[in-house]
Amino acid sequence: MSFFKRLKDKLVGNPVEEEEKVEESNEEEVAEQKEDEATEPAQTEATVEEAEKVEEVSVTESLIETEIPEEIDHEHHEHHEQQEVQEVAIVKEPVEEEKPSAWTITQKFKAGLEKTRNSFTSKVNDLVARYRKVDEDFFEELEDLLLQADVGFETVMELMDKLRFEVQRKNIKDTNGIQTIISEKLVEIYEQGEEDLIELNMQPEGELTVILFVGVNGVGKTTTIGKLAHRLKSQGKTVVLAAGDTFRAGAIDQLQVWGDRVGCEVIKQSEGSDPAAVMYDAIRAAKNRKADVLICDTAGRLQNKVNLMNELEKVHRVISREIPNAPHEVLLALDATTGQNALVQAQTFKEATNVTGIVLTKLDGTAKGGIVLAIRNKLHIPVKFVGLGEKMDDLQPFDAERYVYGLFADGLDKELQNNED
């Protein structure tokens, strides 16, 4: 299936159909309103009788009110207002979130990668405009642009080889449509024939899934835990959080704030306590409450790297002792704005812990979003989630096609339009 076809069927969805659904729902509301209006005359007589009864009661109440002192009446009025506020609060029950459409998710990737696209893709567009022919000079400049976007040396070299082969195979002479070929090859490099890379290793119903979060301080680890908890809760799962970062000042309180915000219980001890002991308590509590998922926070910095890794190994050991084969996921939080430094962090944590996936935070805040490809291609660790904004639902499962579309959206939209015409 061509990249254009996947864009249309999977990535972009069909916004026109969504608009038609909205129109249909509006028509249904109008029909219901007409039915209500038709039943009004039949209810008029009953309404009049009820109104007369209300008037009689109100007259009696007005006579009683004249005998009540002002202070008591004022208290009664305040109490009545409080009751109204409580009733309003009860009525506003949380509504189950609708599953976002393919179009909505794709637009999140497009908006989240705007900074990278503005700096990187605009340069690619200029390059395509300057070079009418695909020659070696074109490839050399494209190579420099990809390196500047932190795509990574190995990934860029592999991409160049694939592009040269494709250009030769199809006997491509000009740069028209070259962005589509670049996009398709980048997706191929990321996926490398593997499927379902973004799926979390969730346990069967009735069993506890343990997700361990690791990463240095300041990468948005605790915030990401809160967002993931919100995502899992919206799927109907019961989630418990473990405040295992007992060394950083304020880390426990920060996780508690997120727990209160998303409606998850937080298992914690005092600051400076043993993180492994917190994990032991959290597992017992999650089992007793028959929770579906336990998400564990961990320290991001101790006195030195060796101490940090030893502490993580101890936490890992305690979890696996209580639940065989756990933790089921070890997610490494990385800050996308740090570029190549994120790659170094990923390498360090991979050597010390069994990292099963990357959560790349703050992707919307960097102009070097190509780091996603560098991490995947060099370390062979899948990026499972990306942070595309500050809202609760801006943590999205990573999708290679949507990601590449976000990088080249402007040029691909034009090529897609030309292809359809």
Tens of pLDDT, residue by residue over 341-378, are 888 888 888 887 889 999 999 988 887 788 888 888 78
Among the residue ranges 83-92, 208-217, 329-338, 377-386, the one predicted with the least confidence is: 83-92
Length of the chain equals: 421
Tell whether pTM > 0.85: no
**Quick one: which of 309, 288, 284 has its CA closest to 298?**
309
What distance in Å separates the CA atoms of residue 9 and residue 13, rounded to the nearest whole number?
Answer: 6
Under DSSP, the state recorded for 336 is: G
Which pair of structure tokens corresponds to residue 309? Answer: 């890794």
What distance in Å separates the CA atoms of residue 252 and residue 316, rounded to the nearest whole number?
Answer: 19
Q: Is the pLDDT of residue 122 over 90?
A: no
Query: What is the arithmetic mean of pLDDT over 192-207?
Result: 80
Question: pLDDT for 309-335, tens place per residue?
Answer: 889 999 999 999 999 999 999 999 999
Question: pLDDT for 240-298, tens place per residue?
Answer: 999 999 999 899 999 999 999 999 999 999 999 999 999 999 999 999 999 999 999 99
Q: Give the confidence band of 82 by pLDDT, cuts at 50, 70, 90.
A: very low
Q: Is the pLDDT of residue 42 over 70?
A: no
pLDDT of residue 259: 97
Among the residue ranges 175-179, 226-230, 334-338, the one predicted with the least confidence is: 175-179
Q: Is the pLDDT of residue 146 over 90?
A: no
pLDDT of residue 243: 97
Sheet (strand 209-214) strand order: 265-267, 239-243, 293-297, 209-214, 329-335, 357-361, 383-387, 395-397
Q: Is the pLDDT of residue 51 over 50?
A: no
187 within 8 A of 400, measured Cβ to Cβ = yes
Residues 307-319: b if buried by 16+ CB within 10 A, e if exposed:
ebbebbeebbebb
308 within 8 A of 349, measured Cβ to Cβ = no
138 within 8 A of 146, measured Cβ to Cβ = no
409 within 8 A of 110, measured Cβ to Cβ = yes
